[in-house]
Every structure is written in C-alpha cells, then in structure tokens.
Amino acid sequence: MRLKLRYFASIRELVGVAEGEMELPEGSTVDDMLETVKKHHGRLRDVDRILVAVNGDYVYPGTRLANGDVVALFPPVSGG
C-alpha cells in the first residue's frame, strides 16, 4: 500500500521536507510506518516525542494503515 506522509514544525526541519510518500506491505501498522520513517530519516531516531495522525485523527501505535492514508508526524502542539 502507498501512504502519503506530512511533516510539521521541528519534525519537518529534521527530515528536510514537508511531504513524502511511502510504500509498505499490506497490514502494516502505525508502529511499522514509524520504524520505516526513522530508517529513512536517521535524525528522527533521537526524537522521543512524535505524535501521529492518520487522515486528521490521532491513532494508536497498533492501528492498521490503509492504502491512500495521509499520515502526519509532528511534535507536541503549542497553539493557543
């Protein structure tokens, strides 16, 4: 399956791009995706606080992803 990735704030600066795409085996979870992202972007390995949203909703590490999902990675938010 193919995922669309979006990065924000300090995470965006660490990976150096705002968006990307990723191919993962069917049945992959959020945790699998994170592992693969960290393999591509080594600088994320030292970041211990990454929030993940899929199609605009927060997800569990074990949530299964689906083809076409938009996955966002970002640090704890600081609006308001």
Partner 1 sequence: MEDFSVDEVLGRLRTGRMGALVTFVGSVRDISGGKSVDRIEIQVYEEMARKQLEAIREEAMERFGVEEIAIIHRHGSLRVSENIMLIAVGANHRPEAFDACRFVLERIKERVPIWKKEITTDGEFWVEGEHFEPL
Could you give the CA distance from residue 76 to residue 67 in angstroms, rounded to a whole number? 26
Q: Is 20 a binder of partner 1 (CB under 8 A)? A: no
Please identify, among the stretches 21-29, 30-38, 52-60, the one whose residues bind partner 1 according to the rule CB under 8 A: 52-60
Q: Is 16 a binder of partner 1 (CB under 8 A)? A: no
| Least distance (Å) between residue 73 CB and partner 1 | 10
Tell me how far apart the terminal alpha carbons of the chain are, to the nearest angstrom.
36
| Least distance (Å) between residue 47 CB and partner 1 | 11
The alpha-carbon radius of gyration of the chain (Å, integer) is 12
